[in-house]
Amino acid sequence: MVRFKQRDIISIRHFNKEELLYILDLAKQMEQMDNTELLKGKVLASLFFEPSTRTRLSFESSMKRLGGSVIGFAESGVSSAAKGESLSDSIKIVEGYCDIIVLRHYLEGSAQLAADVATIPVINAGDGANQHPTQTFLDLYTIQKTKGTLEGLTIGFLGDLKYGRTVHSLAYALSHFGAEMYFISPPSLQLPNDFIDVLKDRKVKCHENESLRGISRRLDVIYCTRIQKERFADPVEFEKVRGIYRLSRAMLEEVGIKNDLKVLHPLPRVDEMDDSLDATDFAVYFHQARNGVPVRKAILAAVLGAIA
């Protein structure tokens, strides 16, 4: 039996296939539902030690659209961390003020630490380069919604696959659904070997490539991420790879794609995906961002026990 009540949401790896589907199904119900009072009287503490508009605003909107309320901060400068307080102390105090904590923190492992300390549920809204499970839930929801299913898809991950936490989490989650995966990146930003091993252990067919050319026609989904200039010791190297990993309408037409390809991106984008794509049916990244609301409503309602 699926049980989310009072559960911490720390890593996508903590959920089995049935649990993933349960949340996606609940998100679908949330999307069709009008505003409710499901979480009336409940208080969410939104603790963002690092700024994030998208995640913070969609959590806060979700809570409010369910009738709940929100306290918190949007950056660490106004938190008591600035006075040298430990995260553990901060959590022990704030949990007295609320019913659930959403935590964004720059340190890996901080969300698990908070969950260990708190007696109320903690939702990880990103802990450094580590995990960001609600992003993965909304990525899954977007794929399921736009492709009709999560089963048996061929997914291309494009860009910085070494540091991108969203890529690692989504690839892991899709391993429950018999996905075939293409990892397309410059050599210096390839998926870590031990993570490839994890996926292979989970029976995922993995391929590594340096370009979309030759494989693009096989892809049902492209999950694009940003390549950051700072990752390159030599700016000339960056300029070379840039063109290869910059998605545009013309580039996709040139390499060839399926008619029903969907392109996702966790956003914000800077210049790795130009806006010539925005008006096409391929582009689902804005829908993806907006799916943050039904998905986070589902998670909040389930964890707070407002839904059976």
Q: Rounded to an integer, what distance in angstroms lies between the CA atom of residue 141 and that of residue 136?
A: 8
* Shortest spacing between CB 91 and its own copies, in angstroms: 10
- CB contact set of 85 (below 8 Å; sequence gap of 6+): none
Q: What is the end-to-end Cα distance of the chain in Å, rounded? A: 12
Please check if 55 is assigned to a binding site.
yes
- Please select the residue that binds its own copies; options are 78, 108, 109, 205, rule is CB under 8 A: 78
Site string for its own copies, 40-59 (x = CB under 8 A): -x-x-x--x--xxxx--xx-
Position 72 contacts its own copies (CB under 8 A): yes
Binding residue (CB under 8 A) for its own copies from 16, 35, 149, 280: 35
**66 assigned binding-site residue:** no
Beta strand 154-158 with 221-224 is parallel
The single residue among 19, 25, 31, 75 that binds its own copies, judged by CB under 8 A, is 75
Helix, strand, coil fractions of the chain, as percent rounded to 5: 45, 15, 40
Q: Find out whether 54 is annotated in a ligand binding site.
A: yes
178: left (phi over 0), alpha (psi -120 to 50) or beta: left
Residue 93 within binding range of its own copies, rule CB under 8 A: yes
Find the shortest distance in angstroms from Cβ 62 to its own copies: 8
How far is the C-alpha of 148 from the C-alpha of 128, rounded, in Å?
A: 32
Asked if residue 106 binds its own copies (CB under 8 A), the reply is no
| Stretch of 17-25, 165-173, 232-240, 262-270 lying at the interface with its own copies (CB under 8 A) | 262-270
Helix (H) or strand (E) holding 45: strand 43-48
Task: Decide the pairing of beta strands 100-105 and 43-48.
Answer: parallel
89 belongs to the binding site for its own copies (CB under 8 A)? yes
Q: Is the CB of 120 or the CB of 191 nearer to its own copies? A: 120
* Nearer Cβ to its own copies (34/234): 34
* Contact flag: residue 268 with its own copies (CB under 8 A): yes
Q: Does 69 bind its own copies (CB under 8 A)?
A: yes
Question: In the bound complex, what is the minimum distance in angstroms from residue 293's beta carbon to its own copies?
Answer: 6
User: Order of strands across the sheet with 180-184?
Assistant: 205-209, 180-184, 154-158, 221-224, 262-264
Give just the sign of the alpha carbon dihedral 139, 142, 146, 152.
Answer: positive
Residue 88: CB atoms within 10 Å:
14
Residues 270 and 36: their CA atoms lie apart, in Å, by: 36
The answer to whether the CB of 225 falls within 8 A of the CB of 264 is no
- Least distance from C-beta 172 to its own copies, angstroms? 25
Q: In terms of Cα–Cα distance, which of 209, 157, 158, 195 is closest to 179?
A: 157
Task: Tell me the site size for its own copies, rule CB under 8 A.
Answer: 49
Q: Which stretch binds its own copies (CB under 8 A): 123-131, 176-184, 250-258, 261-269?
A: 261-269
Nearer to its own copies, 110 or 175 (CB): 110
Which of 251-290 are b and which e, b meaning 16 or more Cβ less than 10 Å from the residue's Cβ? bbeeeebeeebbbbbbeebeebbeeebeeeebbbbeebbe
Any known ligand binding at 104? yes
Give the residue with the Cβ less far from its own copies, 28 or 92: 92
Q: Residues annotated in the binding site, as ranges?
A: 54-55, 83, 104, 132, 135, 165, 226, 267-268
Site residues (vs its own copies, CB under 8 A): 34-35, 41, 43, 45, 48, 51-54, 57-58, 60-61, 64-65, 69, 71-75, 77-80, 82-85, 88-90, 92-94, 96-98, 267-270, 275, 286, 289-290, 292-293
